[in-house]
């Protein structure tokens, strides 16, 4: 029932999900293991913001990912782990083996006092223990919060404090190409300001020298080896929290999006199976990091809930050379390959021999995620990687949506380069004009909103339900506002054009301009700053800063370096400035608001049509900024 096999069935699914949303999702949910069936399929809406799915039901995520498959496919490979070092053979974990590892990890957590509802923070590189650890949390009902290993000690500390995590799990160092990221040292620094953390479990990976706090730090492997490979699952209510994942918004500190158990679980599997169309003996590889939502839903949960084989890669696409992805595809016989446009553009810029050396003959489906994919990158991917025979699924979604909302279904939906195409069943996207009126008919353009809740929508922001309401549901009351702009063509196919708020998308990573400004303003010589996105060939968007300095002697190069040091310290290397300009002022409205529209255009060298500048308090600044940009 849940598998869509052709376009007719897709339309039938959409129609049923629309007319009888409860009947539709109830059928899909029946394929899972429940300790107790739900009383009501869905309740709550975008006005009351008390959204519930499968309320009254009891289930367990880890049981559904692992135990449910043990009888029918216990010896099937669940996880293939590809080491950073290409000389080390890939390591396979069958469903049985993964189950035993997860049980051991669960028992370690219990032994350290972790109980249902406690928050567990992971700050790791892409080691198997990260995937095992998050599943272990779900087994015992603990709430995981994975922090991407590229964030700084301050950023990590902020996230730990926000959700009062009780334990931190890290590794001594993480391999990324020829670099070692000193995760344990960074974690040590973060923990100086995190009193909620009682213990730190350390997985030894790089055998780097680290300090050791005898009372607080424990060797993860030693504990796991001593732990029992059997652990009962905790029976979880459908709406019990599953995980928190922090993401940036247009204002303030990162928000901890809260996802709950059953709805997320049902949607992760259903969307995975239908978008990717994975078959029994396929090998599916998503190149994301588990520190982002893509790694949660489409490395970990979606594939394992489906009983598929998922690949986890520790390294980077360009080490030892730019053929690493393609070498792995051949070596592991990858059938489904899912990556980000920024990686495609970076590899496109390298010599084509890195691709042509490899056969890529096992590939059947390609995917793209994280940012709009430009036509040129789409064509290159299609021609050189897919050999014009693999459908490309351009999957649009967000941390908040939990799963893919708009995407072709591989081999089923007609493709259009750079178009995310059509919504999945049960998803009702609309375009609204600035007044909040739905734009009818096709073609159309507007701000992308959702009309009704889907099962995996984030239920809240950890500790701040009011902010959840403010951020997503007040701009257009009654709708979920995505923050993206989009177009709909004659056939109703969607094309996402990018963020319409103060969020920039750097290499598929979401960055709030306010956060970067906050870091810049820490510099003693800086009076005020404004950060915008600028076009970037590889990253999609780069980070561009306008800076007003009190110290007139500051040289641009020195300032750039000093600001980047500050940014690396406060956020992490992903937020470094690509370029900056020192300016005597910023364009402001009479109410004192910075006119970012103008700054964005100047950063993009798109100054022919700056729009109305007459409402500016200081219109003369515009010419100065344009002049300054040229320097």
Binding residues for ligand WT7, rule: CB under 6 A, are: 247, 292-294, 369-372, 394-399, 420, 482-484, 496, 498-499, 505, 510
- DSSP 3-state of 239: coil
The closest alpha carbon to 517, from 506, 508, 526, 507, belongs to 526
Residue with tokens 């780069």: 542
Minimum distance of ligand WT7 from residue 400's CB (angstroms):
7
Burial of 182 (0-12, 13-18, 19+ CB in 10 A): middle
Token couple for 226: 């001593």
Helices assigned H by DSSP within 334-385: 341-348, 353-356, 375-380
Nearest to ligand WT7 of 482, 581 (CB atom): 482
Minimum distance of ligand WT7 from residue 623's CB (angstroms):
32
| CA 9 – CA 13 distance, rounded (Å) | 6
Nearest to ligand WT7 of 112, 419 (CB atom): 419
Nearest to ligand WT7 of 294, 460 (CB atom): 294
Token couple for 393: 């699924």
Minimum distance of ligand WT7 from residue 484's CB (angstroms):
5
Sorted by sequence, the CB contacts under 8 Å of residue 565 that are 6+ apart come out as none
Q: List b or e across 549-574, with b for residues whose CB sees 16 or more CB atoms inside 10 angstroms.
A: beeeebeeeebbebbbebbbebbbeb
Minimum distance of ligand WT7 from residue 371's CB (angstroms):
5
The closest alpha carbon to 117, from 144, 94, 156, 99, belongs to 144
Nearest to ligand WT7 of 269, 510 (CB atom): 510
Minimum distance of ligand WT7 from residue 202's CB (angstroms):
28
> Hey, what's the torsion of the CAs at 217, 222, 226, 227, to 10 degrees?
60
Minimum distance of ligand WT7 from residue 61's CB (angstroms):
19
Nearest to ligand WT7 of 170, 421 (CB atom): 421
Nearest to ligand WT7 of 391, 483 (CB atom): 483
Minimum distance of ligand WT7 from residue 502's CB (angstroms):
12
Nearest to ligand WT7 of 312, 458 (CB atom): 458
Nearest to ligand WT7 of 21, 499 (CB atom): 499
Minimum distance of ligand WT7 from residue 447's CB (angstroms):
11
Minimum distance of ligand WT7 from residue 347's CB (angstroms):
18
Helices assigned H by DSSP within 1-53: 7-19, 21-29
Nearest to ligand WT7 of 173, 263 (CB atom): 263
Minimum distance of ligand WT7 from residue 483's CB (angstroms):
5
Nearest to ligand WT7 of 399, 471 (CB atom): 399
Minimum distance of ligand WT7 from residue 390's CB (angstroms):
17
Question: Taking the CB of residue 204, how many other CB atoms lie within 10 A of it?
Answer: 15
Nearest to ligand WT7 of 64, 342 (CB atom): 342
| Residue 541 near residue 342 (C-beta atoms within 8 A) | no
Sorted by sequence, the CB contacts under 8 Å of residue 326 that are 6+ apart come out as 354, 355, 357, 358, 360, 385
| CA 401 – CA 427 distance, rounded (Å) | 11
Minimum distance of ligand WT7 from residue 252's CB (angstroms):
16
The closest alpha carbon to 8, from 413, 392, 306, 310, belongs to 413
| Residue 120 near residue 145 (C-beta atoms within 8 A) | yes
Sorted by sequence, the CB contacts under 8 Å of residue 160 that are 6+ apart come out as 121, 145, 147, 168, 190, 191, 194, 196, 197
CA distances from 68 to 306, 347, 447 (A): 10, 39, 41
Nearest to ligand WT7 of 60, 399 (CB atom): 399
Question: Taking the CB of residue 70, how many other CB atoms lie within 10 A of it?
Answer: 13
Minimum distance of ligand WT7 from residue 292's CB (angstroms):
6
Main-chain dihedrals φ then ψ at residue 257, nearest 5 degrees: -70, 135
Nearest to ligand WT7 of 331, 487 (CB atom): 487
Q: Which residue is nearest to ligand WT7 (CB)?
A: 399
Sorted by sequence, the CB contacts under 8 Å of residue 217 that are 6+ apart come out as 199, 200, 201, 202
Nearest to ligand WT7 of 175, 246 (CB atom): 246
Element (H or E) spanning 309, and its range? Answer: strand 309-313
Look up residue 423 and give its DSSP letter: B
Minimum distance of ligand WT7 from residue 177's CB (angstroms):
22
Beta strands in 433-525 (DSSP E): 444-450, 460-461, 480-488, 494-499, 503-506, 509-512
């Amino acid at each position: 029932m849940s598998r869509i096999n052709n376009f007719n069935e897709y339309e039938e699914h959409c129609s049923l999900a629309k007319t009888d949303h409860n009947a539709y999702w109830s059928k899909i949910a029946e394929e899972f293991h429940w300790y107790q069936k739900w009383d009501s399929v869905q309740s709550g809406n975008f006005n009351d913001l008390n959204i519930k799915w499968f309320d009254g039901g009891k289930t367990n995520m880890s049981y559904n990912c692992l135990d449910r498959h043990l009888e029918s496919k216990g010896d099937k490979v669940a996880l293939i782990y590809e080491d950073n070092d290409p000389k080390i053979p890939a390591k396979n974990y069958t469903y049985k083996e993964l189950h035993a590892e997860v049980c051991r990890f669960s028992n370690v957590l219990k032994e350290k006092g972790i109980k249902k509802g406690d928050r567990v923070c992971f700050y790791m590189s892409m080691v198997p223990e990260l995937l095992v650890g998050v599943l272990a949390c779900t087994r015992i009902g603990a709430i995981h919060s994975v922090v991407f290993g590229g964030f700084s000690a301050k950023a990590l500390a902020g996230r730990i404090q926000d959700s009062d995590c009780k334990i931190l799990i890290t590794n001594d160092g993480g391999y990324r190409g020829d670099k070692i990221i000193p995760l344990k040292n960074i974690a040590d620094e973060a923990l100086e300001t995190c009193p909620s953390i009682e213990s730190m479990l350390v997985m030894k990976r790089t055998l780097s020298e680290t300090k050791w706090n005898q009372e607080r730090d424990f060797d993860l492997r030693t504990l796991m080896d001593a732990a029992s490979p059997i652990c009962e699952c905790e029976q979880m209510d459908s709406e019990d929290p599953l995980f928190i994942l922090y993401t940036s918004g247009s204002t303030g500190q990162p928000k901890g999006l809260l996802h709950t158990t059953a709805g997320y679980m049902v949607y992760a599997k259903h969307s995975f199976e239908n978008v990717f169309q994975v078959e029994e003996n396929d090998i599916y590889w998503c190149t994301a990091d588990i520190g982002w939502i893509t790694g949660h839903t489409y490395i970990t949960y979606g594939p394992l809930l489906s009983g598929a084989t998922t690949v986890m890669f520790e390294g980077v696409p360009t080490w030892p050379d730019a053929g690493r992805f393609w070498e792995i595809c051949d070596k592991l016989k990858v059938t489904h390959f899912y990556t980000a446009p920024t990686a495609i553009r970076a590899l496109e810029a390298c010599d084509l021999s890195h691709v042509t050396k490899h056969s890529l003959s096992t590939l059947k489906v390609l995917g793209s995620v994280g940012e709009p994919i430009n036509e040129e990158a789409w064509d290159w991917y299609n021609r050189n990687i897919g050999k014009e025979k693999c459908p490309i699924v351009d999957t649009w979604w967000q941390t908040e949506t939990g799963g893919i909302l708009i995407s072709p279904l591989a081999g089923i939906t007609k493709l259009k380069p750079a178009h995310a195409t059509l919504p999945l069943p049960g998803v009702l996207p609309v375009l609204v004009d600035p007044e909040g009126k739905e734009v009818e008919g096709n073609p159309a353009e507007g701000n992308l909103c959702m009309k009704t809740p889907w099962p995996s929508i984030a239920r809240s922001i950890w500790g701040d339900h009011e902010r959840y309401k403010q951020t997503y549901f007040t701009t257009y009351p009654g709708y979920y506002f995505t923050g993206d702009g989009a177009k709909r063509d004659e056939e109703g196919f969607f094309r996402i054009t990018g963020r319409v708020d103060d969020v920039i998308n750097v290499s598929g990573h979401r960055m709030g301009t306010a956060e970067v400004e906050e870091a810049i303003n820490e510099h003693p010589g800086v009076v005020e700053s404004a950060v915008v996105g600028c076009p970037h060939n590889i990253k999609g968007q780069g980070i561009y800063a306008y800076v007003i300095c009190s110290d007139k002697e500051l040289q641009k190069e020195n300032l750039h370096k000093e600001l980047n040091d500050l940014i690396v310290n406060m956020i992490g290397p992903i937020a470094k400035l690509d370029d900056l300009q020192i300016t005597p002022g910023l364009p402001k409205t009479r109410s004192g608001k910075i006119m970012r529209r103008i700054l964005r255009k100047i950063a993009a060298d798109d100054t022919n049509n700056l729009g109305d500048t007459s409402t500016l308090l200081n219109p003369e600044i515009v010419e100065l900024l344009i002049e300054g940009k040229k320097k």
